[in-house]
Amino acid sequence: MKIVAVSDIHANLPALEAFFEYLETHSLSDAPVYFLGDYVNLGPFPDETVSLLRSYPGKVYLAGNHDRYVINEHALDHNPYFGSREGVLHSRWTRDQLSADNLEWLRKLKIRHQFDAEGFHIDMIHGRHDSDELTLEAADLDTSHRTIYLCGHTHIPRDQHVRKARILNPGSLGKPLDRDNRASFGILTLESDASFFDVIRIPYDIEKTVAALEARKVPWRTGIINSLRTAIYTDEE
């Protein structure tokens, strides 16, 4: 059984299109795809990205912290996540670009998904179980069972074994932060009580995304552009 895990698309339509093309050309079109949140913010194509996602029969779509910022104005009040006022303006810009139907789709996303498969319990979340703004830590988890925790949020791939459990992160499709600017996602293979995890990196047209950020005069774009090109976090965004 193969599970495709995708997280942190961040309104990067060219990266999402490259991902769907990869699935088609690598015989993965029928594999279940689980999306771990953060579909909007930090990119120039929020409405187009959500529309494309809604047209795809994903197995599940979870909410991330940036999705919450866009649908909940109160989430922007005194938010320590944003290093500058421009981050708040960016979230409001994103919300203004979204159609009413796409905003409603974001509002209805759930925050956690669990199921059993091939002798494993699979537990999916965007960040941490008690906060979508924090990182999943082994010390906070029950590692005495054969549980695979799939999470996103950090934009950095992760594969950590802790006792009987395993913590996996596919990295970010739309905005990697591990010094590799190629789109990142994961394929989890479950076979008779064994699990294998591969992080897949695919190139996409970064400059098309950059050009759209400039053309649309997206707030906060200077830091976003730098991070897209370098895959390094900057406090300008």
Instruction: For the chain, give every domain's residue range.
Output: 2-35+46-230
pLDDT digits (tens, 9 = 90+) for 112-126: 999 999 999 999 999
Q: How many CA atoms lie within 13 A of 71 on its CB side?
A: 20
pLDDT for position 73: 87
Yes or no: say if 169 and 151 are a contact pair by the CB < 8 Å rule: yes
Residues 6+ apart with CB under 8 A from 206: 14, 181, 228, 229
User: What pTM was computed for the model?
Assistant: 0.96
Distance CA 184, CA 199 (A): 7
Rounded to the nearest 5 percent, the helix, strand and coil shares of the chain are 35, 25, 45
Reported as a single tens digit per residue, the pLDDT across 178-226 is: 999 999 999 999 998 899 999 999 999 999 999 999 999 999 999 999 9
* β-bridge mates for residue 195, sequence order: 190
Residue 201's pLDDT is: 98
Q: In the chain, which stretches have pLDDT less than 70?
A: 83, 235-237
DSSP letter assigned to residue 153: S
User: What residues does 117 pair with on adjacent strands?
Assistant: 120
Superfamily name and number for 2-35+46-230: Metallo-dependent phosphatases (3.60.21.10)
pLDDT recorded at residue 49: 98
